[in-house]
Structure 1
Amino acid sequence: MMEMTAREKSIQEAFQERMDESELLNCMRCGFCLPACPTYIETGFDETHSPRGRIALMKAVYDGLIAPDQEVEHSLNVCLGCRACEPVCPAGVQYGHLLEEARDIFNEHHPHSLPVKALRKTMFDGLFPHQKRMAQAVGLLGFYQKSGLQTVARKIGFMNLFPESLRQMEKALPEVPKHRRMKSRLQQAAASETTIAKVAFFSGCLMDTMFLETNDATIKLLQKAGCEIVIPENQGCCGALHGHSGEKEKAKELARRNIAAFEKTEADYIIVNAGGCGAFLMDYEHLLKDDPEYAERARQFSAKMKDISQILYELNFHERVPLQVTQQVVTYQDSCHLRNVMRTAEAPRVLMQAIAGVEYREMEKADSCCGSAGIYNLVQPEMSMQILDHKMEKVTATKAQTIVTANPGCLLQMKLGIEREGLGDQVRAIHIVDLLLEACG
């Protein structure tokens, strides 16, 4: 055993209390995960930035063989959390669960500065859990876009005060809907014709504000597919950003709130149109496994989760509804969590290829992360942009005019990639829901 500071000793004790040793031992160090890990590849095959390397670090901290110092924390933070290692792991190691627990422990023992504490409290406690505040915040962005401030800020060079990636991100942001539209939301909708299934729609926080049009398109597609739709009023943020950022208790609070809201709908399925949200919602079963009141309720909730593309595919939407767009080459960027956690990869591809006018071209390594990963592109901009630039090389090789995604973070990241490559007049990025509604005519 080595000597540690009081803080490091507390972290090591928390590892022993909270980390699942059996899961840590499940890793056989076989290396099957290495080719699937973006950070391992981007760092020049650095083992400390691979899944098995990070698990080895966690186990060493657990055993007291190494100090849980800044280097260990940095390795965990550089991880995208894309979970591409999980489908290829022969032992079925739940790496994502280990990563979130370790990050949560480090965050609890991290001496954040007062400004950082204030920012985290504002974001995680004051903004995301409260949809009205989220709408107000997004409304301010809309005012910035529509009032002329955006034009002025660009002309006077104000945006030059920010890093290049943020300047480009500002240009890639979608046009925000008017605030009154965000305030008036449906709570239920009937099927267009015969009702085949009753579904509850998880509208999300950013999806129901900045990406409101995509949510509206989702509801219209579900109606056309024969779904009666219920949109619980008391639902809220899924908690993914909290769970991925070391705010696990707040994530649990949000999970309980959502489970209670959706139980009342008695729906056959719970539908989501954001891969990142869907994966975390499915993980409620794990998140609340030790909660005697919610463990079984969480299991039932998670069992009902389906991505919009999966339910449309299962209801044969693409065979029953005529779909056509103007002739264009289309490629697809997988949402990591949709593919690796929700295990949905075939459905979106089948739906796209069913559209008349679409020439579908599979992108090389479409299943590899684009570098968005929630707020990763903000907290790890250098690695994120490195991954994005390599992703855009794959996009360019397809000669696609349309890049389709299934997650808001991926969508913004691909828009950012288009901006960085100067392809704004040649290529567009679009959510699969919006493409399908466009194809409905």
Structure 2
Amino acid sequence: MTTKEQRIIQEEFKNRMNEDELLNCMRCGFCLPSCPTYVESGFKETHSPRGRIALMKAVADGLIEPDADVERSLDLCLGCRACEPVCPSGVKYGHLLEEARDIINQNKKHSLSAKTVRNLVFNELFPHQKRIRAATGLLGFYQRSGLQSFARKTGMLKWLPENLVTMEKVLPEVPTMKEMKNRPSYFSASGVPKKKAAFFTGCLMDTMFLETNNATLRLLQLAGCEILIPEDQACCGALHGHSGEKQSAKELAKRNIEAFENLDVDYIITNAGGCGAFLIDYGHLLQDDPQWADRARDFSAKLKDISEVLYELDFHKNVKLELPSQVITYQDSCHLRNAMKTANAPRTLLKAISGIEFTEMKDADRCCGSAGIYNIVESEMSMQILDHKMVHAKSANAAAIVTANPGCLLQMKLGIEREELSGKVNAVHIADLLLEAAGEK
């Protein structure tokens, strides 16, 4: 980073960072035990929420330069927001982090390779669902054509980083292009309609995890919901917002608000904690835009996770849920718990299943290390966090680890593979498990 870039970034910190929010941090340290990177780094202050806020404040005040060490501290943060529920001052750390990352990324010169990758991911791929579908279709071709078997047998995958080799083993079987394209946009309720809902399909959820989306839709029908699926909805923008591409995130937010705002529905439903946390923050994201601020708040006010809706509609009381005798445990999605404030509903639904024994995993609310693409770009720290998570997962002695977010699901599958527990322990999305328990899978 050049001196000129540092000066610009410092000025942007001064003008754009929320001074009141920075000062709201009392440096009390309640956040420290909840922060995975603080613990895993050997209690390094600059890798804690308190330390990162102090760095942001120092940059804004001109006391330090926004050098590589500051950037590294911010990059290493998972963005899990576990610090927010335990903060006595209610500091919105996630908002501060996103703003700081955006300032740095928009005002520093990226290498040609980094610029190319960022343009491909943030501009050419994720804003376009048809392209995501096509890319997922290529993965499906790899799985079904024999290329996957060939790559594994010949050892071609050994050239990839170890965590990506393991990730390749746990990817779900991708649906066909026909299956991804031929889904209706309206579903009637089973029985007398109780509520009308709109479903946010997501990017990877509606391609790689299409089966889970279909399970979610069926659960909503069984719960008495009519469901509308707007065809012109877009990526939630979480990946952009967390990676210093805030303007692009705003544009995606506006597309989604337009897609949903004229629907006469009681809920806008998501089944991915990471997406939900960003969607419910649209009011903050667009707060400075007079044309969109109120519309964004109205959108977010209707947003609910699938587990909350099922709980509110007494799905667990009205539908018989039963599975073969087994122990199950639950791994919280950080964003579902910390941003959407949803922790009790999924547990209540799981405990209502006859035949299972629910065991609470120690530190179930601690991040698993997935955090979007964190397990790819920050592999070492991610795997360190995952290894500790698997210690607690194994102690639960569960046959199934239930999650509520696709990233968490893959990360837990990755942990199961790393611990050589495949065939003994399974990781499953809560929607898929509930539909199975309802006898429809």
Find the counterpart in structure 1 of residue 51 from structure 2. Answer: 53
1:156 shift after superposition: 1.0
Tell me the equivalent position of 1:31: 29
Q: Which residue number in structure 1 is paired with residue 83 of structure 2?
A: 85
| Correspondence 1:370-409 to 2 at 5 A | 370-409=368-407
> How many Å apart are 1:379 and its aligned residue?
0.5
Quick one: distance in 2 between partners of 1:113 and 1:39?
27
Structure 1 position 235 matched with structure 2 position 195: no
Compute the displacement of 1:6 (Å).
Answer: 1.3
Q: Which amino acid aligns with 1:92?
A: G
**Counterpart-to-counterpart distance in 2, 1:273 and 1:329:** 23
Aligned to 1:102: 100
In the alignment, the residues of structure 1 paired with residue 130 and residue 365 of structure 2 have an alpha-carbon distance, to the nearest angstrom, of 35
Q: Which residue of 1 aligns with 2:165?
A: 167
* 1:328 shift after superposition: 0.9
1:138-157 per-residue CA deviation (whole Å, 9 max, x = no partner) reads 00000000101011111111
Could you tell me which residue of structure 2 aligns to residue 346 of structure 1?
A: 344
Aligned equivalent of 2:207: 209
Partner of 2:243: 245
Give a deviation string over 1:21-77, Cα, whole Å, max 9, x none. 000000000111011100000011111000000000000000000010000000000
1:323-379 Cα distance to aligned partner (Å, 9 max, x none): 001111100000000000000000000000000111100000000000000000011
Within 1, Cα distance between the matches of 2:64 and 2:247? 27
> In 2, distance between residues paired with 1:81 and 1:136?
29
Superposition pairs of residues 110-129 of structure 1, within 5 angstroms? 110-129=108-127
Distance 1:144 1:112 in 2: 32
Q: 1:158 aligns with which of 156, 159, 175?
A: 156
1:219 aligns with 2:217: yes
Name which of structure 1's ranges 279-288 and 177-186 shifts more when overlaid on structure 2. Answer: 177-186
The DSSP-based 3-state class of the residue aligned with 2:357 is strand
Partners of 1:17 and 1:60 lie apart in 2 by 13
Backbone CA RMSD of aligned residues: 0.7
Structure 2 counterpart of 1:70: 68
Which residue pairs with 2:278 in the alignment? 280
Q: Equivalent residue for 2:134?
A: 136
Tell me how far 1:112 sits from its aligned partner: 1.1
TM-score normalised by length of structure 2: 0.99
Counterpart among 322, 325, 332 of residue 323 in structure 2 = 325
Moved over 4 A (4+): none
Offset at 1:203? 0.4
| Correspondence 1:253-264 to 2 at 5 A | 253-264=251-262
Amino acid at match of 2:87: C
**Partner AA of 1:28 in structure 2:** M
Counterpart for residue 198 of structure 1: 196
Residue 171 (structure 1) shift: 0.4
- Comparing 317-326 with 4-13, which one deviates more in the overlay? 4-13
Query: CA offset at residue 393 of structure 1?
Result: 0.5
Q: Deviations over 1:386-428 (max 9, x none)?
A: 0000000000001110000000000000000001001001000
**Where do residues 11-26 of structure 1 align in structure 2 (5 Å cutoff)?**
11-26=9-24
- Aligned mates of 1:132, 1:247 — CA distance in 2: 21
Unpaired runs of 5+ residues, structure 2, are none
Q: How many Å separate the matches in 2 of 1:114 and 1:51? A: 31
What is the one-letter code of the residue matched to 1:177? P
Aligned letter for 2:382? S
Q: Which residue of 1 aligns with 2:309?
A: 311
**Counterparts of 1:411 and 1:200 in 2: how far apart (Å)?**
24
Distance 1:136 1:14 in 2: 39
Secondary structure at the residue paired with 2:263? Answer: coil
User: Match of 1:120, as an amino acid?
Assistant: R
Q: Which residue of 2 aligns with 1:366?
A: 364
Give how far 1:321 is off. Answer: 0.2
Q: Give, as a single letter, the amino acid of the residue that structure 2 aligns with 1:149.
A: L
Q: Aligned AA for 1:22?
A: D
Report how far residue 109 of structure 1 moved. Answer: 1.8
One-letter identity of the residue aligned with 2:61: D
**Local SS of the residue matching 1:229:** strand
State the identity %: 68
Q: How far did residue 110 of structure 1 move? A: 2.3
Whole-angstrom distance in 2 between the partners of 1:430 and 1:282: 24
Matched, 1:429 2:417: no
Is 1:9 the counterpart of 2:7? The answer is yes
* In structure 2, C-alpha distance between the alignment counterparts of 1:216 and 1:264, rounded to whole Å: 24
1:296 has 2:287 as partner: no
Residues 198-255 of structure 1, C-alpha deviations (whole Å, 9 max, x = no match): 1110001100000000000000000000001111111010000000000000000000
The one-letter amino acid of 1:174's match is: P
Provide the rounded CA distance (Å) in 2 between the counterparts of 1:415 and 1:331. 14
- Pairs aligned (count): 438
Aligned AA (1:170): E
Distance 1:323 1:292 in 2: 47
Q: Which amino acid aligns with 2:189?
A: A
> Given residue 151 of structure 2, which amino acid in structure 1 is its aligned partner?
A
